[in-house]
Structure 1
Amino acid sequence: MASSPYSDLSGKIATHRAHAGVIGLGYVGLPLAITLARSGFAVTGFDIDPGKIISLDAGRSYIEAVTNEALTGEAKAGRFRSTSDFAELSNCDVIIICVPTPLTKHRDPDLSFVEATSRAIAATLRPGQLIVLESTTYPGTTNDVVKPILEETGLTSGSDFFLGFSPEREDPGNRDFETATIPKIVAGDGIEASKLMQAFYSAAVKTVVPVSSNATAEAVKLTENIFRSVNIALVNELKTLYAAMGIDIWEVIEAAKTKPFGYMPFYPGPGLGGHCIPIDPFYLTWKSREYELPTRFIELAGEINSAMPRYVVGSLAEALDMRSGKALSRSRVLIIGLAYKKNVPDIRESPSLRLIEIIEERGGRADYHDPFVAEIPPTREHMALKGRKSVELTEVVVKSFDAVLVSTDHDDVDYAALVRWAPLIIDTRNIFSKLGLTGEHIVKS
């Protein structure tokens, strides 16, 4: 009996002879590539950034979740290499897309990276390949956007090649989980694609959770992030209300979470950051217009969370006026933490960038200190801040500022010294209370 594209690929996956290609070697793609290599697959990583390829070839990882030792170990074993030559996709049996899915200025999905990558794959597409999208997007993208581009080749999904979706679930800085131990949602375009997805990811990930369709898998990822966005917006709104009442939201949350059922703690902050929570919910909002159905919770949560940087700067201006009689327009402010979350160098969508802009829009001057971010790199939305460098935390430096604003509570910061040196502290993370540090010049916001 003649073999089929499905049976050939199924056999390669079962015996770990399948060659995997991972497109996009960032926070999602590189850890995935190394996880697949560790499980025994030969992996080629693809990226359009030559700097990443140079770094990887030299054995230098730029992602905290991947150590230099892990990188060089898989490379020396012949299981991992990287390239910018997309013609090599023809050698890959499984191709995984891990490229960005940002929003436009009007909060519409920007699928340009997904579309361009799909066309690159189509250029060498052959029977017996499994194509997987991991980039977060709205339900229907895999089948309605990626599939037609691939089928322009004359090959058919489900018989010639196979198409699936598996949402990434990376959490930078979280040392309790890694790619191999985070349960993996998988789906495929048809029964055979679904079986291939389950077989492939089960070879590298401890727990695989199959769902009925690619659209369902896409919806799972959005639901996870919408849940977080809405609940963070709720506590941010409660923070502003309770502050007006003279009630400490952090004390309220600590007491509320002692209830052993029916409550899950979420925490306020200066705004949302990262690639997921500030962006992903609006993919569903955009898609909902097709069905003429409103997404009121999602949109309201976005409005509340987006307003938090201005709220924090308002608190800063009020504190400066009340405690030193100095206007924000004549003040210098030191932002602690540029990354969007603690103990990582990731500045994507970081509220700290917006805080700097708002302070300077109001005539003040803002600098930052971040032990993980030595210099602000180019960003799509904040190009004017490119090249600014982290300042040192010395007594002379801190005392030269009128206020210190803690935006990201990295562990590697001497908060006790800040209490001694800073004339005014605005704390958006409750870090000083957590550390038992007090002072009349510490203001929670």
Structure 2
Amino acid sequence: MTTTIVSADLPGQRVSELDNKHVFHSWSAQDLVDALPVSTASGASFTDYEGNTYLDFGSQLVNLNLGHQHPRLVQALQDQAGKLATIQPAFANDARSELARLITEAAPGSLNHVFFTNGGADANEHAVRMARLHTGRKKVMSQYRSYHGATATAISLTGDPRRWPNDPGDPSVVHFFGPYTYRSAFWAGDAEEECQRALQHLEEQIVFEGASTIAAIIIETVVGTNGILVPPEGYLPGVRALCDKYGILYIADEVMTGFGRTGTMFAVENFNVEPDLMTFAKGVNSGYVPLGGVVLSDAVRDTFATTAYPGGLTYSGHPLACAVGVETFAVFKDEHILERTRQLGDEVVAPFLAELVEKYECVGEVRGLGLFWAVELVRDRTTREPLVPFNPNAEENIPMLRIGAACKAAGLWPMIQQNRIHIAPPLIISEKDLRRGLAIIEEAINTAC
């Protein structure tokens, strides 16, 4: 067979043809995929081959925290490639070592050690493995409303419908209900009651599962694709207390919330809680090169002081990825990313969304922190019936599809999950573009609801 090598700079139609013919897409029925060919991108926007530009209100997959083609991140990548493109993880490397230092200094308490992975799913896999080896126990508890990745144990930890076709998975995973005041599983009347009852439910489940069999509880600090669920005050400290009481490790999944998304470097800072293990990915370098990791407490690290940890990856702490991560910290400092994220969230997003609740009967609730928000749409505000049902089929999902189409037609690429519009633009977005994007979302809601 003769293979002809051609330039990668192809016209849009050819890009689509090759994509349809050769690319196998995740989470998709292959014959129904019609992927938009993207030509260029900059800042908070990307452009297709026909010249249509879209505000990226999902930061791709909530990973592009510093935006498309940030010149300092691109330069860091280029500089590292010219210096040392790759080296295996058994060697020490300056970019890797420096990024580990920066992460541990930003992390709370005794989280002083970093195991680098290629992304968030394998970070969660390794965090669970470390917890099991540290405690000598097997079971891990996670919330039903959660997503922790698509690899073997990570998809078992996941509570949402993406787990179902992959069952039976890891038999040592046990799911529980986390707090969700708007749709309380505990018939709570307010956030305080929801917190108390959710913690009571969790402790009862720990007891009946057998506390001595449970290695860890893993929780997304702010639940991401399953609703942008901000835990009520006291919940995460309550989880920490239960873990201490029963000798269980607390794993904070910060894959989506880490590196500024909620206005703090790590979302746990909002709740004054210190986990035993904390996973990260996505925003650590805005996905310019795949990177993730686990931040370990001193106690967990010391389990492997003289006993080898049975795990590793060829690309653990890849120099290209780590160099961009190091520059990410510098950009956060120089561009005051955390401060402006809090400001935009508090002064622009929160009041705008509060007005939506007042103006539209189909807006049931809005919630979030920093630049991480959800607009929950309902058919009936009194009964709180969702605009589309849980895990809707194509026909049931038509109202949300219409909202998405209206946003795209107006120049915004939305992030839509179930009956919710999620708002998670790059943290570098200008206030003007943020307001423009929010206005587009309001018009789409007004049209569809």
TM-score relative to the length of structure 1:
0.32
Larger radius of gyration: 1
Bigger strand share: 2
Greater relative contact order (Cα 8 A, min sep 6): structure 1 or 2?
2
Q: TM-score, normalised by structure 2?
A: 0.32
